[in-house]
Structure 1
């Protein structure tokens, strides 16, 4: 009789854990698609606006009849800004200081030193706590001349709520399967429990990783900063003299390129001239020798 009780409890646990891996969730590979509800758990869900709903889709309310809005919103913030300064490479320490003062850090950075063909510039990605994100962005923009900016927000409240609910359900399933393994009386029951436990544990670990990633993205906003040289910033307006100056600069640059190209080709042109002259001399000598032979072979009248 005890054997049948253990087998029945194992089957009940597998059916109960089916709600943690049903279709439409964040995990793949479930044992079944039974949408069982864990005893003691609410069958409602949370809408994108943070409102809790009943199973029939109506908005849930408390005993006083007021709508329940106790679920906080989870929002991922990202922004990209570009500023122009005289010496971009000198701004990198200031960006690191802004991130550190806000409780964040520099995720990655790259820089391009000045060369003959481009001005210096830096590109830095900062991770800033969400509650200090706007203030840190304002500090970054104050470092130089504004060039451009963009910002976006992604509401992941439903994802976070769904992941948390599935983690709670799978944790309960794992605990019950562990208890069943401890009470198994034969090898068949033990192997079945071990197989189910391994699958549930893998799904649980995956969900925990997803929750940690979402939490990190929500808690720390991402700010991508591009700092360019002031000379590379697009002018707000141009006059006739600005166009004339740019045209003259382009002409001078074209002349410089022509001079450089001529200097590069000149040695090769000299060698080709010597070769051509030698070839002409050889051809002339050959023609002259041919004429002499022809004259000597012609009989005199």
Structure 2
């Protein structure tokens, strides 16, 4: 029994050393992984299932790349077309291949309508989404890409190492040898490894969602109209500013009068009494 216990402790020590090395590797890359903290479960559920593929997969003889892509589109449309264009773009986003991150529209009698829509589309469906959206009213288009390959490889390596450590710990526990203290220590280490494994899995799912889908930000604005401004537009602006300045000045005067009224109640009687006192000596 002593030999078995000694062997179990040695194996546990080796596993603990492997876990410590994994922890050092994680801390050395903490700056890279800070921006990819675990995403909400709702978004993780929508991450593509392909994230489990090895990052070292070969594509046409070269290492697979993981690129995060974002596109920004700005449209200027007649006021009557802003809401239909925004709704058509929203309706294109089907839950299976697309998710709406944010959507808003502003309509009022005081201002022209405008709308915003942000979606994340599966990469193989992104071009079809853009084609259906059309280029009518498109005045600005921007594409930005960021290489996330190094981050994916790092997280995949962590996942593999943590899975190996977890499997070794489970094998040790299944042997049912050693003292109760050894078993408790192994279970504690197993729980720590599983927590790190869950965190790494969430990071990988987040990266998959970023690299296997394209984020598209769209802004729909009302195009400027000559009839809105007209030839008398500058004159109208001058008259408006003049009236605003006049009203503002008048309000300042009214504030001053209101603040002066309490003092007038004291000043007027005091002035009248002072004049009466000054007049009496002259009469003598």
Question: TM-score, normalising length from structure 2?
Answer: 0.69
Using CA pairs under 8 Å that are at least 6 residues apart, name the structure with larger relative contact order, 1 or 2. 2
Corresponding residue for residue 152 of structure 1: 144
Residue of structure 2 in register with 1:248 after alignment: 235
1:23 is matched with which residue? 25
Describe how 1:172-191 pairs up with structure 2 within 5 A: 172-183=164-175, 184-191=177-184
Residue 81 of structure 1 contacts residue 141 of structure 1 at CA under 8 Å; is this kept in 2?
Answer: no
Contact 1:81/1:224, CA 8 A, preserved across alignment: yes
CA distance in 2, matches of 1:191, 1:271: 81
Q: 1:82 is matched with which residue? A: 74
Residue matched to 1:164: 156
Q: Which residue of 1 aligns with 2:198?
A: 205
- Pairwise CA distance, 1:138: 4.6
The 1:287–1:256 alpha-carbon spacing in structure 2 relative to 1, beyond 3 Å, is same
Higher alpha-carbon Rg: 1
Q: Residue 100 of structure 1: SS of its match in structure 2?
A: coil
Asked if the contact 1:20–1:167 (Cα under 8 Å) also holds between the matched residues in 2, the reply is no
Which residue in the other structure is 2:91 paired with? 97
Secondary structure of 2:69's aligned partner: strand
Q: Which of 83, 102, 123 matches 1:130?
A: 123
Q: Partner residue of 1:40?
A: none
Aligned to 1:57: none
SS at match of 2:143: strand
CA distance in 1, matches of 2:186, 2:265: 95
Contact 2:70 2:144 in 1 (8 A): yes
TM-aligned CA distance change 1:191 to 1:272, over 3 Å: closer
Structure 1 unaligned spans of 5+? 29-44, 53-66, 236-241
Q: How many residues align?
A: 253
Task: Give 5+ residue unaligned stretches, structure 2.
Answer: 32-54
User: Could you tell me how far 1:172 is from its partner in structure 2?
Assistant: 2.1
Aligned to 1:222: 215
